[in-house]
Amino acid sequence: MLNEFKDFIAKGNVMDMAVGIIIGAAFTAIVASLVADLINPFIGLFMGGIDFTNMYFVLSGEVADGASLEAAREAGAAVFAYGSFIMAIINFLIIAFVVFMLVRQVAKIKEAAAKKEEVVEEAPAGPTELDILLQIRDSLAK
């Protein structure tokens, strides 16, 4: 059983998947920073200084007016953090777009490789042995 597990782990697909997951996690951190540090400030600027990170409703508990979301959570209040949800949607859309573009490019590359294979297969193979023998027979018959 241990040998079968080693064989499974050593397969290329499993290793490729592991690398993809690690790169995906790093990419998610980059996108989260992009949204929180670069996109949201511009959105806030155009919407009159709105900060999505601190947009929430207090469902129960006591929270001082103007307190940050983090302070409200530390106070033990139940909060409906719709600003965090908006940020998560923006993160998802960016990641989904990048993955779409990546899959699209891979599909184009595969399609181009398939067309090259078709062109190679369509090249004439030359005369067969039977064709050559028939030409020799015809030449001798003259």
SS in 3 state form for 110-132? HHHHHHHHHHHHHCCCCCCHHHH
Using only C-alpha atoms, what is the Rg of the chain? 31
Q: What is the pLDDT of residue 78?
A: 92
pTM over 0.75: no
The span from the first CA to the last CA of the chain, in angstroms, equals 74
pLDDT of residue 108: 92
Q: At what angle do helices 12-33 and 82-122 cross, to 10 degrees?
A: 140
- Check the CA dihedral 122-125-130-134 and report its sign: positive
The span from the CA of 101 to the CA of 45, in Å, is: 29
Per residue of the chain (142 residues), give pLDDT as tens: 888 877 776 776 777 788 888 988 888 888 888 887 888 788 778 877 777 778 888 888 888 888 888 888 888 889 999 988 888 888 888 888 888 888 899 889 888 888 877 766 665 677 888 888 999 998 888 7
User: Residue 95 in contact with residue 26, Cβ under 8 Å?
Assistant: no
CA-to-CA separations, 55 to 26, 62, 75, in angstroms, rounded: 27, 16, 16
